[in-house]
Amino acid sequence: MKKLSVLYFLLIIFFVSCSRSEAHLVVAGSTSVQPYIELLAEEFELLNPGSGIDIQGGGSSAGITAAETGAADIGMSSRWLKRTEEYLWSIEIARDGLAVIVNPANPILDLTLEQVRSIYSAEITNWSQLGGRQARIHIIAREEGSGTRSAFEEMVMNEEYRITPRAIVQNSNGAVRQLVAGDPNSIGFISLGLVDQTVKAVKLGGIEATSENVMNGSYALFRPFLFVSKSIPPAGLAMEFIEFILSPDGKRLMANEGLVP
């Protein structure tokens, strides 16, 4: 089923790319990276009339596969490449903190990594076990293949633990945020740059989830935002877009959105 969904995604990208002019760029992959690249693409297109950038989601694994097959000019990933993928060209364009979020009405302000791990492995099932109110914890997680989930599993769950199958699975950071915003008893994890007033990022071991703490290394959870390409290195419009992202203007835009360029 997973293979079929990835194949369907690649077919969509293929037909979109075939219908575009030579001055068009197809970028596909991580839904964590997607909103930031959409913003950067808008600015790039204003500065480069006649160019067009088509941005698709689908998840990190789908984006890497799209880059491998040439269905996309650039793949977006919010996880490091696996050993079998390291033959591809890649560049880290930014770093993003991973925020553990709860509803603003939840009195919990601070958790340890061990407590988060115990929640997601269903060893802790009630907020009262953490000093909160008497209420069952509703666990929200990302889908398999998501770079956000891969980063969370690597940094929080380690190899010894697995996210409980009772978790409610969502296919984007925005969907996770929306569920947590509407449920006082829920917990989720999303890109730090996507935290807004509708949810609350808890401290981890007393350290706030901020870009500054990601930069200075005191906040434990962060992951890379990568661009991946089959071309070594990319050329033409793809390289022009990458150079813009890594320019002072591109870095300023990413920093304004909460990323660490």
Question: Can you list the alpha helix ranges (DSSP code H) found in the chain?
Answer: 2-18, 34-47, 60-69, 113-120, 147-152, 173-181, 211-216, 236-245, 248-256
pTM score, two decimals? Answer: 0.69
- Tell me the pLDDT tens digit for each residue of 21-40: 455 889 999 888 888 899 99
- Give the range among 89-93, 165-169, 176-180, 210-214 with minimum mean pLDDT: 210-214
Residue percentage of the chain with pLDDT more than 70: 91
Residue 18 has pLDDT above 70, yes or no: no
Residue 138 has pLDDT above 90, yes or no: yes
Full DSSP string of 43-107: HHHHHSTT-EEEEEEE-HHHHHHHHHHTSSSEEEESSPPPGGGTTSEEEEEEEEEEEEEE-TT--
Residue 11 has pLDDT above 70, yes or no: no
- Give the range among 8-17, 159-168, 180-189 with minimum mean pLDDT: 8-17
Q: What is the mean predicted confidence (pLDDT) over 197-210?
A: 95
